[in-house]
Structure 1
Amino acid sequence: MPVMQIDEVKKVLEDLYDGVKGTIISCSERSRENITSSTYVYGEAELHSIEKIFQIVDPQPDEVFVDLGAGVGKQVLTAALLYDFKKVRGIEILSDLHKTSKDILEQFRKKYGSKLPDGKEMPDIDFLKGNFLRADFSEADVAYMCSTCYSEEMMEGIARGAEHMKPGSRVVTLTKPLPSDQYEEIHHEFYPMSWGTSQVFIYKKKDINEEK
């Protein structure tokens, strides 16, 4: 169950992200670096949508969360605030978005130290720069991605990585389904996002031994 009320989480995030516009940061870097691929288009889930998604995912104490394409890190910090994760990670390939997430994390730590606003211990939080298709995220119990603009090839790469996660792990995708027969779909529904509404798919990894 959540460790902080959603309204309290909203206040913390509004303070940390005051004036931070991930869409503008992303567009500026992509224009500067002449990155034209639509797979880099920026988007975020609305906070109340994330809350509802997590209710279905049902994070357990000491689990690990990873955001594949973390942007400015808002979903990672939301996970850290809302649930008792042991470790939360975000992986982002664009330098300016990654730097912004690291700067915000530094502010977060300076303000709250080793404790979260509700008094519980700060989880292990970090933002990694790189291509998540080349990353090992097998330790994650919950993998989330704002995958609306991801290509078919990217989704196939994510599926290959997700197949190394343990049985019972959950994967959340937006718009694009996860192309893996090792996962069963447990929920899909349309939720509000920063750009409109998007279909959200939630999967759980099958336990092959149980099936036998």
Structure 2
Amino acid sequence: MGFFDHLQKGGAFSLKPQKNQVRKVVQTRPAAPKSAPQTPVARSPRALSSSERSRPTSNLKARSVSSDPDARPSKRSTPTRVRKRPTPEQRLSSDDDASDSDTSFEVRKRARTSASAEPDPERRVRSVKAFSEEGTRPFKMVHAIDITSVQKAGKFKPAFGAEKSREILLQYPSASQKEKYGHCVTKIYSNVLTNFLSSFYRFDCVVPRDNEDFRPIDDIVQVIETVSDNYIPSEEADEFNNETTGIKRRLRRGLAVASETQFREAVDDYNKAITRLRNSGSLAKHLDATQRISLPWVERILTQTYARTVSPRVESLRQYENGTDNVYGELLPRFISTIFKETKLKSGQVFVDLGSGVGNVVLQAALEIGCESWGCEMMSNACDLADLQQSEFKARCRLWGITPGKTHLVRGDFLEQESIISVLKRADVILINNQAFTPQLNNELINHFLDMKEGCRIVSLKSFVPAGHKIQSRNLNSPINLLQVQQKNYWSNSVSWTDVGGTYFIATKDSSRLRAFMDSTL
């Protein structure tokens, strides 16, 4: 299961009445941090870096709406690991770590607030095509039923303990095709009249036996939660949110009493309501007035994308190189969203992730901000998964009726790829998870700062400017003289290798100090 799959976790299928069993994902702080930080496994920040490093799941706490009947229902959400990651093997640190905390940097301790992006008046969220007649044409996507049906039969079990002959179809806000949910089972039987073997198909609502596997029922409920929270006009909200007759309440009731009939009826009524509101233009009008996509909304789409592409193939990411720049580490999505806010990234700008892994951060920037988003990765297995993610991401955005920014995923070394070298010259925000980079690689990166435009912001976990650095006659030619650095805090559950907080750095290219120094020496 992938790190975006935290929304699929939280316990197995529970059919006991419990009103608060279904709710949206919330972020909370752990009761106590681990005694010793976990460290990432060797792997490339040039390779599987910040995007794969950006594992939104493991440290988000989510409550599952489907849980094992034998499991004790949990009254509180608990932290869960979302994808099966290699066991951390080494500490990401270096001899100059101590200098990063020097007081010459601007340190701001702030309260934890919502990480969702600020409203952007220039952002156009709705995809006109997805809401048009053209949007009704079928397109390639990975259905939920594809995930459960290709898995080994023993991995899933019927959720309601009854056999049904039809799959569940779920309508998204756009005019696009419905998604197929269920588990397709082929039954072979002998026809005594013809003496031939025949087959038929059955579709079960299922839950996984292993809590780390895909949870289709959770996915259905969370889609409906997200749609009702972000697409439905206030005057229509009662049909979804009414605590007695609302669709969400009926979904919860169907799960609580183990009634597949009630659950299916609620889903069917949801589909009808969404189709009616789309045909009336209410959904499009509401989406046109939207100037930002909230973080839970972003995570729902990215979680679906990851679960259908990377999670089934996550074992291919276990090839890392110890003792090199190829070190595995993840920046989680709430942290990434905070970075977007701190750097004031907007839809008309350019974002670059140097070491984009399977593309998570690249996709998050394109979806949450709507900007042009680039990533570069050198590990071929991560690149293959990134391509799958990008394809499914486009399909998911079409389902949700959203226009993301353009995404570009480049294979190779970001110090050598011409397309990356070129885009760095016009980039507005560059993310470099250089926590485990060697000094040599950091120095090579610094030389590229000379070509970046004024005002470009470079976000890193280790500062490219030594603490206490001052412009002097003997270092006038150093590229770091062009950088104005701020040190900031990140909080617990922001990175994969530790549960405690730390610091990161935003370096802004600003030539004014160097010019002022040179003018003063004339």
Same fold by TM (over 0.5)?
A: yes
Q: How does 1:11-160 map to 2 (within 5 A)?
A: 11-18=300-307, 20=310, 24-28=315-319, 30=320, 35-85=321-371, 87-113=372-398, 117=400, 119=402, 121-135=403-417, 136=421, 137-160=424-447
Using a 3 Å threshold, how does the CA distance of structure 1 residues 24 and 155 change in structure 2: closer, same or farther? farther
Query: What is the CA–CA distance in structure 2 between the aligned matches of 1:159 and 1:210, rounded to whole Å?
Result: 16
Which of 186, 197, 200 is residue 504 of structure 2 equivalent to?
A: 200
Q: Report if the CA contact (8 A) 1:26-1:94 is conserved.
A: no
TM-score normalised to structure 1 length: 0.85
Using a 3 Å threshold, how does the CA distance of structure 1 residues 210 and 77 change in structure 2: closer, same or farther? same
Where does residue 96 of structure 2 map in the other structure? none
Please tell me the residue identity of whatever aligns with 2:488: H
Q: Deviations over 1:108-163 (max 9, x none)?
A: 123334xx9463x3322011011112240222111002211111111111221122
Query: What is the CA–CA distance in structure 2 between the aligned matches of 1:23 and 1:150, rounded to whole Å?
Result: 24
Which of 445, 448, 454 is residue 161 of structure 1 equivalent to?
A: 448
Secondary structure of the residue that 1:181 maps to in structure 2? helix
Q: Report if the CA contact (8 A) 1:168-1:207 is conserved.
A: no
Please tell me the residue identity of whatever aligns with 2:506: I
State the shift of 1:24 in Å. 5.0
Where does residue 294 of structure 2 map in the other structure? 5
Query: What is the CA–CA distance in structure 2 between the aligned matches of 1:148 and 1:103, rounded to whole Å?
Result: 27
Higher alpha-carbon Rg: 2
Query: What is the CA–CA distance in structure 2 between the aligned matches of 1:71 and 1:10, rounded to whole Å?
Result: 18
Secondary structure of the residue that 2:451 maps to in structure 1? coil
Q: Percent identity?
A: 24
Secondary structure of the residue that 1:144 maps to in structure 2? strand
Query: What is the CA–CA distance in structure 1 between the aligned matches of 2:502 and 2:409, rounded to whole Å?
Result: 25
Q: Report if the CA contact (8 A) 1:23-1:43 is conserved.
A: no
Query: What is the CA–CA distance in structure 2 between the aligned matches of 1:150 and 1:128, rounded to whole Å?
Result: 20
Secondary structure of the residue that 1:71 maps to in structure 2? coil
Structure 2 gap ranges (5+): 1-117, 120-291, 466-479, 517-522
Aligned residues: 202
Richer in strand (by share): 1
Q: Report if the CA contact (8 A) 1:172-1:201 is conserved.
A: yes
Query: What is the CA–CA distance in structure 2 between the aligned matches of 1:181 and 1:23, rounded to whole Å?
Result: 42
State the shift of 1:200 in Å. 1.1
Q: Cα RMSD over matched residues? A: 2.4
Query: What is the CA–CA distance in structure 2 between the aligned matches of 1:198 and 1:118, rounded to whole Å?
Result: 37
Please tell me the residue identity of whatever aligns with 1:50: I
Q: Which moved more, 1:53-62 or 1:184-193?
A: 184-193
Q: Report if the CA contact (8 A) 1:133-1:154 is conserved.
A: no
Please tell me the residue identity of whatever aligns with 1:155: N
State the shift of 1:37 in Å. 3.3
Identify the structure with bigger relative contact order (alpha carbons < 8 Å, sequence gap 6+): 2
Please tell me the residue identity of whatever aligns with 1:107: E
Q: Deviations over 1:70-112 (max 9, x none)?
A: 0111111111111131x10100011111111111101112333
Q: Deviations over 1:142-201 (max 9, x none)?
A: 100221111111111122112211101100001x21242211113322342011144211
Query: What is the CA–CA distance in structure 1 between the aligned matches of 2:504 and 2:457, rounded to whole Å?
Result: 13
Please tell me the residue identity of whatever aligns with 1:195: W
Where does residue 464 of structure 2 map in the other structure? 178
Query: What is the CA–CA distance in structure 2 between the aligned matches of 1:209 and 1:187, rounded to whole Å?
Result: 18
State the shift of 1:7 in Å. 0.5
Using a 3 Å threshold, how does the CA distance of structure 1 residues 84 and 112 change in structure 2: closer, same or farther? closer
